[in-house]
Amino acid sequence: MNYIGISTGFHDSALSVIDDKGNILFAGHSERYNKQKHTKHLCLDIVNDALSYCTSSDIEVHYYERPLVKYLRQLRSGEKPVLSNLSAREIIGPGLMHKLEDGRKRKIHTHNHHLSHAAAGFQTSPYDDATVVVIDAIGEFDTISIYTAWYDKNGVAKYKKLWGQRYPDSIGLFYSAMTKRVGLRPLDEEYILMGMAAYGNDRPVKDMSNELVESFKDITFKDNLHIGVPDNFLAGVDEMDIACSAQMIVEQLISNVISKARMLGGSKNLVYGGGVALNCLANRLLGDFYDNIWIIPNPGDAGSSLGAAALGYGKRLNWTNAYLGHDIPGMYPVNKLLDYLNTTGIVGVANGRAEFGPRALGHRSLLADPRGKEIKDKVNEIKHRQKFRPFAPVILEEYTDMYFDIPCGWSNSRYMQVISRCRVPDLFPAIIHYDNTSRVQTVPKDGSGIRELLEKWYVMTGCPMLLNTSLNVRGEPMVNDRADADRFEKLYGIKVLS
Ligand SMILES: [Fe+2]
């Protein structure tokens, strides 16, 4: 039996496949195949790729939310949903379903949206029990959920909900409304708002919270922020100050939820998921409440495709790493990468299975020598992104403490989910933010290609890290296959090795 999990129809469509031993055979983003960032459509190419990893023709399809309940919420929020939204089969696309089912029509199992987030987190975590916190914009009606989770004597994952908040009171919708307020795209560019926060000051924080937040304790808001705030909200206030204040408020709200979870749940282990868990600045605070923290590298809705499949399987998954998508076969080109880094200082790599999640972790990466002042402008020129946005370092894990202070509660930063303070910011201006923090990827002794590259780079230069940013053509999702890599090479004149 293979379990196919699907999240699609809203944004960040994705598909995952696991077998009946808990092995994750495939997990990928549809956007990497149809080249539409955050696409709400599943496409034939990802279905074909996923099917090539299936080990059984006996399959079950699991969908990440409950269409009927979501339809009712959409009616309530005035979104005018179409009738076809009532059917998971219609949302996925009958043609794609026909392909997945090999013509044999079967039941599509549907799951609660927040439970899919919870399962993606808990069933990939190393814990036997955990308190699971889910915070996103909206599930069907849920916006925050706290569960206690454990495995029974047969190894079946169990979830019991301890507390929740519902639409329209939503931390995610608040942050998206502020994203829109500063002229960025909600449900897409929240990470830019987070990056802007370091440049602002908190002058408007009192006005912002007085006007919008009803109760920090109960996580309630004065208005429905689903449609954003009026254009004249905090008129004339600097956008960086809005970003800074929004981040302060969101951190206070998240802290209150995590504190509540600590109080209600009996476990010392925290599993955290939902789109808000991508806020790596706020994630530094989780260690104030928990010593053990697990966030799946893909905690948003795309990751819920794996959560839905996990609910179908029912037990712990065999999690090893985030390299679960499309494969570009071949040995990791370590020596050639070193040659380019030594001569041109910058090189692309597209090798092995693509990352499942929003971060490039060395399989679809643009790598550069992080030392010196010039490299930041050089990479920015290629990426065409706002100058205030820093790049990230990838470092041999055992040297992390020499260069960065990873926040308490985090034993490592393998999936770039938390910011760390850089101890020597003057030496590495390209990989630190305005506030001297970095979003570090630490690489353990795991036998991976990126590990070998860093080890050899260290022997050659005495520097245990590289600059690492995602390999993508401007405005497009990350490179997926070799044809994408060729297009990147042609457009920017940067070698991409496979
Ligand atoms: Fe969600």
Residue-by-residue DSSP string for 237-284: --HHHHHHHHHHHHHHHHHHHHHHHHHH---SEEEEESGGGG-TTGGG
Q: Tokens 């550069």 appear where?
A: 368
Task: Tell me, in angstroms, the distance from the centre of ligand 1 to residue 116's CA.
Answer: 9
pLDDT for 155 equals: 98
Residues 29, 33, 37: CA angle, nearest 5 degrees: 65
Let me know: does 408 contact 421? Beta carbons within 8 Å: no
Query: What span, in angstroms and rounded, lies between the C-alpha atoms of 365 and 441?
Result: 12
Ligand 1 mean position, distance from CA 144 (Å): 10
Asked if 338 contacts 486 with a C-beta cutoff of 8 angstroms, the reply is no
Distance 66 CA to ligand 1 centre (A): 12
In one-letter notation, the amino acid at residue 296 is I
Specify whether the CB–CB gap between 262 and 131 falls below 8 A.
yes
Task: Give me the numbers of helices (H) and strands (E) for the chain, helices first please.
Answer: 16, 23
Per DSSP (E only), the strands in 44-153 are 59-63, 108-110, 129-135, 142-151
Query: What is the C-alpha separation between 177 and 138, in angstroms, rounded?
Result: 13
Q: Nearest-CA neighbor of 451 among 467, 465, 440, 463?
A: 465
Q: 477 C-alpha vs ligand 1 centroid, how far in Å?
A: 20
- Cα separation, 24 vs 21, whole angstroms: 9
Ligand 1 centroid–CA 138 distance in Å is 6
Spatial CB neighbours of 387, under 8 Å, sequence gap ≥ 6: 380
d(CA 261, CA 272): 11
Looking at residue 47, what is its pLDDT?
Answer: 97
Is residue 269 within 8 A of residue 125, CB to CB? The reply is yes
pLDDT of residue 385: 74
CB proximity list for 6: less than 8 A, separation 6 or greater: 13, 14, 15, 16, 42, 61, 62, 63, 64, 92, 305, 308
pLDDT computed for residue 86 by the predictor: 93
Q: How far is the CA of 117 from the centre of ligand 1 (A)?
A: 7
What distance in Å separates the CA atoms of residue 276 and residue 380, rounded to the nearest whole number? Answer: 27
Listed residues: CB within 5 A of ion ligand 1:
136, 301
- Tell me the CA–centroid distance for residue 241 and ligand 1, in Å: 28
Kindly give the distance from the C-alpha atom of residue 275 to the centroid of ligand 1, in angstroms, as a whole number.
6
Nearest CA to 67 out of 96, 87, 40, 92 is that of: 87
Asked whether the beta carbons of 298 and 322 are under 8 A apart, the reply is yes
Interatomic CA distance for residues 212 and 223, integer angstroms: 7
Q: Which residues pair with 144 in a beta bridge?
A: 135, 165
pLDDT score at 373? 81
DSSP 231: T
Q: What pLDDT score was predicted for residue 146? A: 98
User: 208: helix, coil or strand?
Assistant: helix
Q: Which amino acid is at 80?
A: K
Half-sphere exposure in the Cβ direction for 439 (13 Å, CA): 22
Listed in sequence order, the residues at least 6 apart from 123 whose beta carbon sits closer than 8 Å to its beta carbon are 157, 307, 310, 313, 315, 316, 317
CA of 133 to the centre of ligand 1 (A): 12
Residue 260 near residue 146 (C-beta atoms within 8 A): yes
Position 227 scores a pLDDT of: 86
Do the strands 323-328 and 441-443 form a parallel or antiparallel pair, or are they unpaired?
A: unpaired
In order along its 498 residues, the chain shows pLDDT tens digits of: 999 999 999 999 999 999 999 999 999 999 999 999 999 999 999 999 999 999 999 999 999 999 999 999 999 888 888 998 899 999 999 999 999 988 888 899 999 999 999 999 999 999 999 999 999 999 899 999 999 999 999 999 999 999 999 999 999 999 999 999 999 999 889 999 999 999 999 999 999 999 999 999 999 999 999 989 998 899 999 999 999 999 999 999 999 999 999 999 989 999 999 999 999 999 999 999 999 999 999 999 999 999 999 999 999 999 999 999 999 999 999 999 999 999 999 999 999 999 999 999 999 999 999 998 888 888 888 887 776 677 999 999 999 999 999 999 898 999 999 999 999 999 999 999 888 999 999 999 999 999 999 999 999 999 999 999 999 988 899 999 999 999 999 999 999 999
Residue 155 CA, chain-centre distance (Å), reads 27
Rounded distance from Cα 10 to ligand 1 centre (Å) = 10
The CA distance from 117 to 135, in Å, is: 9
